[in-house]
């Protein structure tokens, strides 16, 4: 019997700030954290395709560059396409392979800054996996307060990832308890997801480009889940579908006053699976 290929999927986003810009660490269903290669390359002013080829040609980290489906906004539509993500564990190594002396003079300072500091951020993400608590406590005693706070914040994020393992085991029980109340169907899930993406894009535009799109989309999704007290939007009760559509439409119009609602907001509740 042939082996089935494991398909990685993004399941949770964790925004973080780096030198005034916001990035997103994406947790996938393999319990690994990833970051969009394009986000880091654009932040440094590097060519994404060129760096992708360099990583693929490096046997030490080529397996850490993976492609996953991600929703992206294109004009007035949402497109689900393949996006290159780099495992955060490989981030320090990759940054170390970039020769700052060979980049354009106008981006030299930025590249050096990323190499020094972004690698440190990646270490903070995984430090609790690499070192025992007593060693980390001793290291923190000699660190600057802001670095200690960053490390502790990243430790909490890792704790969330571990708790997600427990959450998966309870999802069946949650769905069973909700069996008396139907959950939105596949088409409705797609509609909700698409509307959230439009709200995220509207948020990005309202910020005048001062926040990355990925951060704005993550905030839109988290706001929706918090509003309806859901671990994942796909567990929205069908009885709340109209309320959810109205909520997202109001969020969109608040962010883009006077703009016409995209058709997805007026397509009804997508009751049919056909």
One pLDDT digit (tens) per residue for the chain, 274 residues: 334 456 888 887 777 666 666 678 888 888 888 999 998 888 888 899 999 999 999 999 999 999 998 877 666 666 778 999 999 888 878 888 888 888 888 888 878 877 776 666 666 666 666 667 777 677 667 666 766 666 666 666 556 555 555 555 455 444 444 444 578 887 888 889 889 989 998 998 898 877 777 778 888 888 898 898 887 777 788 889 999 999 999 999 999 998 889 988 887 544 433 3
User: Do 35 and 132 belong to one domain?
Assistant: yes
Determine, yes or no, domain membership for 1.
no
What's the total number of domains in the chain? 2
User: Do 141 and 51 belong to one domain?
Assistant: yes
Beta bridge partners of 33: 27
Determine, yes or no, domain membership for 171.
no
Determine, yes or no, domain membership for 215.
yes
Distance linking the first and last C-alpha atoms of the chain: 33
User: Do 183 and 140 belong to one domain?
Assistant: no
Determine, yes or no, domain membership for 235.
yes
User: Do 160 and 182 belong to one domain?
Assistant: no
Of 95, 130, 164, the position where a domain reaches its end is 164
User: Do 106 and 190 belong to one domain?
Assistant: no
Determine, yes or no, domain membership for 273.
no
Determine, yes or no, domain membership for 141.
yes
Q: What is the distance between the alpha carbons of residues 145 and 150, in angstroms, rounded to a whole number?
A: 9
Q: Which residue has the tokens 């008396």?
A: 180
Which residues constitute the domain of residue 151? Answer: 10-164
Q: Which residue has the tokens 């706001």?
A: 223
- Predicted confidence at residue 44, as pLDDT, reads 82
Of 164, 194, 211, the position where a domain reaches its end is 164
Q: What is the distance between the alpha carbons of residues 113 and 145, in angstroms, rounded to a whole number?
A: 20
User: Do 18 and 124 belong to one domain?
Assistant: yes
User: Do 155 and 218 belong to one domain?
Assistant: no
């Amino acid at each position: 019997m042939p082996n089935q290929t494991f398909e990685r999927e993004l399941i949770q986003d964790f925004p973080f700030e780096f030198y005034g810009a916001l990035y997103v660490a994406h947790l996938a269903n393999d319990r690994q954290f990833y970051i969009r290669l394009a986000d880091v390359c654009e932040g440094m002013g590097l060519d994404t395709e060129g760096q992708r080829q360099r990583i693929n040609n490096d046997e030490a980290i080529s397996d850490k560059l993976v492609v996953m489906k991600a929703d992206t906004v294109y004009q007035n539509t949402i497109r689900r396409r393949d996006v290159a993500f780099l495992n955060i564990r490989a981030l320090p190594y990759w940054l170390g392979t970039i020769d700052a002396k060979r980049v354009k003079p106008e981006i030299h300072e930025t590249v050096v800054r990323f190499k020094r500091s972004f690698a440190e951020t990646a270490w903070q993400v995984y430090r609790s996996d690499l070192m025992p608590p007593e060693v980390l406590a001793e290291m923190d005693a000699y660190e600057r307060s802001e670095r200690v706070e960053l490390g502790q914040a990243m430790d909490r994020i890792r704790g969330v990832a571990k708790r997600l393992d427990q959450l998966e085991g309870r999802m069946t029980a949650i769905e069973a308890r909700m069996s008396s109340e139907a959950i939105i169907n596949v088409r409705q899930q797609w509609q909700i997801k698409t509307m959230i993406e439009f709200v995220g894009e509207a948020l990005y535009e309202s910020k005048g480009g001062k926040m990355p799109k990925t951060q704005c989309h993550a905030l839109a999704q988290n706001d929706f889940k918090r509003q309806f007290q859901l671990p994942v939007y796909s567990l929205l009760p069908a009885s709340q579908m109209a309320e959810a559509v109205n909520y997202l439409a109001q969020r969109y119009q608040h962010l883009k006053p006077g703009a016409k609602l995209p058709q997805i907001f007026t397509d009804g509740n997508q009751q049919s699976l056909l």
